[in-house]
Amino acid sequence: MALFIRLYEENPNPKDIKKVVDIIREGGLVIYPSDTVYALGCDITNNRALERLAQLKGIKLEKANFSFICEDLSNLSDYVKQIDTATFKLLKRALPGPYTFILPGNNNLPSAFKKKKEVGIRVPDNAIARALIRELGHPIVSTSIKDEDELIEYTTDPELIFEKWEKKVDVIVDGGYGGNIASTVIDLTGDEPLLVREGKGSLEI
């Protein structure tokens, strides 16, 4: 059964952050709050955890379009090909914020993503998410937790999330009620920015 840990965004308890990250490091799956909807994630470097994540989503790992959740833009060059000044300025303006930017991946992508030509990068405006990544030392691979219910789409109540996911994941972070609008997805791999999905962010591009 999953561990259920309450964290406060204004001041996430370092001991509890470490407890969650220890589980992630050991290959555990985590559900945690972001600045949009609750997310399901794992350590970017742990292939076994990535396989479990893909299995939960009912997809093959090599076909999965998971996002890389970063603490800030300093991780960018680890996974993304060199970008031009205009693109970098756009990222600086939008992040941290409710956006996923699709960027061209480089040759240093973790082994599970070697065949990927592009990668979705997120820097959420949420202190809990960023504290977890800071403690872990590298990005978390994530996907949003969707509800089967067409009307609800995203579960916002951590207690209900726990009821549904307690036997499927290893730790659930209760960061208060989540949102129910996913991130805005913008593709920056072409000549012009392309809006792929309209979500919470409303950036002028």
**Does 203 fall in a domain?**
no
pLDDT tens string 124-138:
999 999 999 999 999
Residue among 106, 78, 101 nearest 89 (CA): 101
> Residue 150's pLDDT is what?
56
163 part of a folded domain: yes
Counting DSSP H helices and E strands in the chain, the numbers are 6, 10
Is 95 a domain residue? Answer: yes
Q: What is the mean pLDDT of the chain?
A: 92
Residue 54 falls inside a structural domain: yes
Q: Is 10 part of a structural domain of the chain? A: yes
| pTM, rounded to two decimals | 0.94
153 has a pLDDT exceeding 70: no
Q: Give pLDDT, residue 151.
A: 55
Nearest to 168 by CA among 69, 17, 52: 52
Residue 154: band (very low, low, confident or very high) from pLDDT cuts 50, 70, 90: confident
Residue 170 counted as domain residue: yes
Domains in the chain, number: 1
Rounded to an integer, what distance in angstroms lies between the CA atom of residue 23 and that of residue 41?
Answer: 12
Does a structural domain hold residue 84?
yes
Domain that holds residue 53: 3-197
Phi and psi torsions of 121, nearest 5°: -110, 135
Q: What is the mean pLDDT of residues 36-49?
A: 95
Smallest CA-to-CA distance from 205 within 86, 96, 125 is with 86
Convert the pLDDT of each residue in 3-24 to its tens digit: 999 999 999 999 999 999 999 9
Section 109-135 average pLDDT: 93
Residue 119 has pLDDT above 90, yes or no: yes
Specify the CATH number for the domain of residue 107. 3.90.870.10
Q: CA–CA separation, 188 vs 192, rounded Å?
A: 7
Task: Give pLDDT tens digits for 23-34.
Answer: 999 999 999 999
| Closest to 17 measured CA to CA, from 27, 1, 35, 30 | 30
